[in-house]
Amino acid sequence: MTARAETSARRSDPAPGMVEKRGSALWLTHVAMILGVLVVFFPIWLAFVASTVSQPEIARPPMPLLPGDRFLENYQKALFSGVNVPVAVMLFNSLVMATGIAVGKIVISILSAFAIVYFRFPARSLFFWLIFLTLMLPVEVRIVPTYEVVARFGMLNTYGGLIFPLIASATATFLFRQFFLTIPDELAEAARVDGAGPMRFFWDIVLPMSRTNIAALFVILFIYGWNQYLWPLLVTTDPAMNTIVMGLKQMFPSGDDIADWPVIMATSILAMIPPVIVVISMQKLFIRGLVDSEK
């Protein structure tokens, strides 16, 4: 399956034999493609426009479809006052949570995958299957008992409570295991002959060779962590611990009050910027990680 991630490079040769690609057909394809992109993009565009206009402009439909002049004002208000808590605080919480999940999961996974692949030790296959089992169950399914565990540990409204339950899954372990199995045996043997013990081999050979995998996994896990909703909703009752994705919903007033749409929309835009930047800037890695992690 890795092969398919690399295929985009394969067709670098624009063969003259490519069939039916001339004149009007080509233009039609471009037009259809652009229409498709516009439709897919429209919600984001509208959110951006809403984040640059004033509340009355939105409250009297139809709202304008081009940006207004309230950009700075709205974003400033969102970032530093917010509704319940400044969005800057929520952004920080999200950053800690997403990074914590990505780093934490990578660290525990790469260590256990290394142990499983390169050692034979008692109960190895038992551990392997235990870890494997955790592939099967998203946190959504076990929320009530997991919540109780976190509460008992006094981890409500803490970063630990946000992070730990979400790294208890074996996807990354599996991925690293698959990768380690592709490292030629001779490399470990050469290292042994060169005098490297297991941990030295891990630091000097395995870790540098896993760089791309680690980076790709980081992108995927960062977005996974950033976009969590249900779990932060349960664990963070204190607004100061809210993450931006779940805090967004908390900005809607209960009852019939009119929501502060420009600020809410500015917050939506802020909530999507970090993951979008990560995805766009690391597109190649991201696609590779995505395709690999679904293996």
Partner 1 sequence: MEKRVTFQGWLLPLCLITPQVVISAVFFFYPAAQAVWQSLYLPDPFGLSSRFVGMGNFEYLLSDPYYRTAIGTTAVFSGLVTLVSMVPALFLAVLADRLIKGAGTYRTLLIWPYAVAPAVAGVLWLFMFNTRIGVVAWYLGQLGYDWNHVLNGAEAMGLVVVASSWGRISYNFLFFFAALQAVPRSVIEAAAIDGARFWRRFFTIVLPLLSPTTFFLLVVNVVYAFFETFGVIHTITSGGPQQATTILVYKVYADGFVGQDLGSSSAQSVILLIIVGLLTVLQFKVIEKRVHY
Partner 2 sequence: MATVDLIDVKKRFGPAEVIRGISVAIENGEFIVIVGPSGCGKSTLLRMVAGLESVSDGEVRIDGARMNEKEPMDRDIAMVFQNYALYPHMTVRQNMGYSLKISGIPKADIARKVAQAADLLQLSDYLDRKPRQLSGGQRQRVAMGRAIVRQPKLFLFDEPLSNLDAKLRVQMRLEIRELQSKLGVTSLYVTHDQVEAMTMADRMIVMNGGVAEQIGTPLDVYERPETLFAAQFIGSPAMNVIEATTGNGQAVLANGAALTAPAAQAGPVTLGLRPEHLALDPDGPLVLEVSFAEPLGPNTLLHGRLAGSADAFTASLPGVHRLSQGRGQVRLNARPGDLHFFDPQTGRRLA
67-106 residues near partner 1, rule: CB under 8 A: none
Partner touching 235 among partner 2, partner 1, none, CB below 5 to 8 Å by kind? none
Answer for the pair 244, 263: CB distance below 8 angstroms, yes or no. no
Name the one range near partner 2 by CB under 8 A: 51-59, 123-131, 142-150, 192-200.
192-200
Nearest residue (CB) to partner 2, 33 versus 190: 190
Partner touching 145 among partner 1, partner 2, none, CB below 5 to 8 Å by kind? partner 1
Partner touching 215 among partner 2, partner 1, none, CB below 5 to 8 Å by kind? none
250 vs 30: CA distance, rounded Å: 41
Based on the shown chain and the rule CB under 8 A, indicate whether residue 268 belongs to the binding site for partner 1.
Answer: yes
Nearest residue (CB) to partner 2, 10 versus 211: 211
Partner touching 193 among partner 1, partner 2, none, CB below 5 to 8 Å by kind? partner 2
> Could you write out the DSSP letters of every residue in 206-275?
IHHHTHHHHHHHHHHHHHHHHT--HHHHHH--SGGG--HHHHHHHTSPSTTPPP-HHHHHHHHHHHHHHH
Q: Rounded to the nearest whole angstrom, what is the least distance from the CB of residue 69 to partner 1 in the complex?
A: 19
Among 13, 20, 186, 294, contact with partner 2 (rule: CB under 8 A): 186
Answer for the pair 285, 2: CB distance below 8 angstroms, yes or no. no
Among 201, 218, 242, 292, contact with partner 1 (rule: CB under 8 A): 201
Interacting residues with partner 2 between 195 and 254 (CB under 8 A) = 195-196, 200, 204-205, 208-209, 211
Answer for the pair 123, 115: CB distance below 8 angstroms, yes or no. no
Name the one range near partner 1 by CB under 8 A: 70-78, 84-92, 208-216, 240-248.
240-248
Q: Rounded to the nearest whole angstrom, what is the least distance from the CB of residue 168 to partner 1 in the complex?
A: 4
Q: Rounded to the nearest whole angstrom, what is the least distance from the CB of residue 96 to partner 2 in the complex?
A: 31
How many chain residues touch partner 1 (CB under 8 A)? Answer: 118
Which is nearest to 266 in space by CA: 67, 6, 38? Answer: 67
Residues 6+ apart with CB under 8 A from 211: none
57 vs 262: CA distance, rounded Å: 10
Answer for the pair 230, 285: CB distance below 8 angstroms, yes or no. no
Q: What angle do CA 38, 39, 40 make, to 5 degrees?
A: 90
Among 192, 203, 238, 240, contact with partner 2 (rule: CB under 8 A): 192
How many chain residues touch partner 2 (CB under 8 A)? Answer: 17
Q: Is the peptide bond before 145 cis (omega within 30 degrees of 0)?
A: no
Cα Dmax for the chain:
76
With tokens 């030790």, the residue in question is 121
Q: Rounded to the nearest whole angstrom, what is the least distance from the CB of residue 265 to partner 1 in the complex?
A: 7
Residue 104's identity, in one-letter code, is: G
111 vs 106: CA distance, rounded Å: 8
Nearest residue (CB) to partner 1, 216 versus 248: 248
Based on the shown chain and the rule CB under 8 A, indicate whether residue 144 belongs to the binding site for partner 1.
Answer: yes
- Residue 158, Ramachandran bin (φ over 0: left; ψ between -120 and 50: alpha; else beta): beta
Based on the shown chain and the rule CB under 8 A, indicate whether residue 6 belongs to the binding site for partner 2.
Answer: no
Based on the shown chain and the rule CB under 8 A, indicate whether residue 46 belongs to the binding site for partner 1.
Answer: yes
Which residues contact partner 2 (rule: CB under 8 A)? Answer: 184, 186-187, 189-196, 200, 204-205, 208-209, 211
